[in-house]
């Protein structure tokens, strides 16, 4: 096998981050969403108006947050609740609102590319 192929092989191989930071995980989730940028996800509704305790108990399965949970699962202990994801990534209610609320995406769904942009913006803060 020629050494010229090594970068391409390395890029295709499965790699895993070692001790990833919060920002590493936010970027990782963004990269995974960007693989299918036109995919639509179900947003959360009325994040700002939902009591903090109630928001934390909402299930992420079937929502825009599900692929984010999937991306960080190999690195953090996280379940399928909004609160678990918030704790795992140190997200505020405002962060969840920006990433997942229908008022930022429309009732028709949250486009993966837009969610990725928002995750990158949170990582850049």
Place of tokens 């990534």: 89
Residue 1 has a pLDDT of 43
**Helix axes 93-100 and 82-89, enclosed angle (nearest 10):** 110
pLDDT per residue rounded down to tens, the chain (125 residues): 444 554 555 455 456 778 899 999 999 999 999 999 999 999 999 999 999 999 999 999 999 999 999 999 999 999 999 999 999 999 999 999 999 999 988 878 999 999 999 999 999 98
Among 72, 118, 67, 114, residue whose Cα is nearest residue 95: 118
d(CA 63, CA 105) in angstroms, rounded, equals 12
Residue 2 has a pLDDT of 46
- Compute, in degrees rounded to 10, the torsion defined by CA atoms 38, 115, 27, 94: 180
């Amino acid at each position: 096998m020629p050494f010229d192929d090594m970068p391409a092989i390395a890029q295709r191989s499965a790699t895993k981050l070692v001790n990833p930071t919060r920002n590493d995980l936010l970027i990782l989730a963004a990269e995974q969403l960007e693989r299918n940028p036109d995919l639509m996800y179900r947003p959360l509704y009325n994040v700002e108006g939902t009591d903090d305790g109630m928001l934390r108990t909402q299930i992420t399965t079937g929502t825009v947050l599900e692929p984010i949970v999937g991306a960080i699962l190999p690195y953090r202990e996280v379940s399928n609740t909004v609160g678990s994801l918030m704790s795992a990534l140190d997200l505020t209610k405002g962060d969840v609102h920006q990433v997942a609320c229908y008022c930022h995406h429309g009732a028709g769904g949250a486009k993966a590319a837009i969610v990725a942009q928002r995750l990158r913006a949170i990582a850049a803060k």
